[in-house]
Amino acid sequence: ILFENTKVRGSIKVIKFGEENNPLEGAEFTIYNKSDINFKNPLETKTTDANGQLVFENYEYGDYVVRETKAPEGYNLEGIENALSKDVSITENLKVYKLEYSNTKIRASVKVLKVGEDNDPLEGAVFAIYAKADEKFENPLQTKTTDASGEVKFENLEYGDYVVRETKAPEGYNLEGVDGPLSKEVLVRENGKVYEVKYSNTKIRGDIKV
């Protein structure tokens, strides 16, 4: 009489969410044996689909670790030191084990420094920030006026491309740029970073003829 045993095998489903519980496509995950404590020998790497899901299939009985190794564009990696490890032990045959991960969006700030001809700070200059795609500058995202230190700060800007424009010069000064506001582009790519742009104005001058 011959008895034959088959190995216990199961699958691991990863589900990836954004801040609003929305599925995230394009997140990369890698699976390792739990004994691979330095994560030197990945067993398989997959990327989430449009439903924010992927499946590591047909894994034998044993202990594994799943790590997010690349976040979707515009999002931070989950966890400390850019990768959160989640353990999973396959003990039941044909079972699908589920792991859920979430990402926060990359956000940053833009600080504008406004100076005069002698590099002195200028109060009262009005600046607006726009999405770069808003080519006609019709929908400002934020509008602020420089304080006594000649500064404004646009905060909590999500990953993306922006344009800063001076929309009103301080009293007695010309707007920077030819024929009006000078646009300066800012690309938000790093979480928590403060991007800095500097503008300067020249004084309005004229002649008096007697």
Based on its alpha-carbon atoms, the radius of gyration of the chain, rounded to whole angstroms, reads 27
Q: What is the pLDDT of residues 60-72, one digit of tens each?
A: 999 999 999 999 9
What was the pLDDT predicted at 180? 67
Please give the model's pTM, rounded to 2 decimal places: 0.86
The rounded distance, in Å, linking the Cα atoms of 134 and 126 is 19
Q: Is the pLDDT of residue 81 over 60?
A: no
* Beta bridge partners of residue 61, listed in sequence order: none
Q: Which of 28-42, 60-74, 164-178 has the lowest mean pLDDT?
A: 164-178
Q: What is the pLDDT of residues 83-135, one digit of tens each?
A: 789 999 999 999 999 999 999 999 999 999 999 999 999 999 999 999 999 99
Rounded to the nearest integer, the mean pLDDT of the chain is: 93
State the Cα angle at 26 between 131 and 14, rounded to 5°.
135
Does the CA dihedral 80-81-83-85 come out positive or negative?
Answer: negative
